[in-house]
Amino acid sequence: DQQVKQNSPSLSVQEGRISILNCDYTNSMFDYFLWYKKYPAEGPTFLISISSIKDKNEDGRFTVFLNKSAKHLSLHIVPSQPGDSAVYFCAAYGGGGGADGLTFGKGTHLIIQP
């Protein structure tokens, strides 16, 4: 049972435009959400996070939005740059049940077209 879902395996966006990556979750106990970026042959790199008490967090070109009622979060990248091409993982924490590590989605491969 996948508790964190990223339904788009890949996304292609033109350079300079906005990239929007989506993530849905099912466990209402999650209270902290993160986005990671991963290049091939490297470990995931932390991008941005949001606590469940907020609905928006910004850091430079990256903004994360959280809609708790819909159990949905999204990552906006504006403007998109070629170096943003990578796999993006959504992760959640706080699921309880004794397995309190991060629960990851399966990732979205973002491709920035020149």
Partner 1 sequence: KAGVTQTPRYLIKTRGQQVTLSCSPISGHRSVSWYQQTPGQGLQFLFEYFSETQRNKGNFPGRFSGRQFSNSRSEMNVSTLELGDSALYLCASSIDGPNQPQHFGDGTRLSIL
Selected binder of partner 1 within 66, 84, 85, 107 (CB under 8 A):
107
Q: Which two tokens stand for residue 26?
A: 């099912």
Minimum distance from CB of 10 to partner 1 (Å)?
15
Q: Exposed/middle/buried for 21, CB within 10 Å: 0-12, 13-18, 19+?
A: buried
Decide: 20 and 79 in contact? Cβ < 8 Å: no
Closer to partner 1 by CB, 25 or 89: give it: 89
Residues that bind partner 1 (CB under 8 A): 32, 34, 36, 41-46, 49, 89, 91, 93-94, 98-107
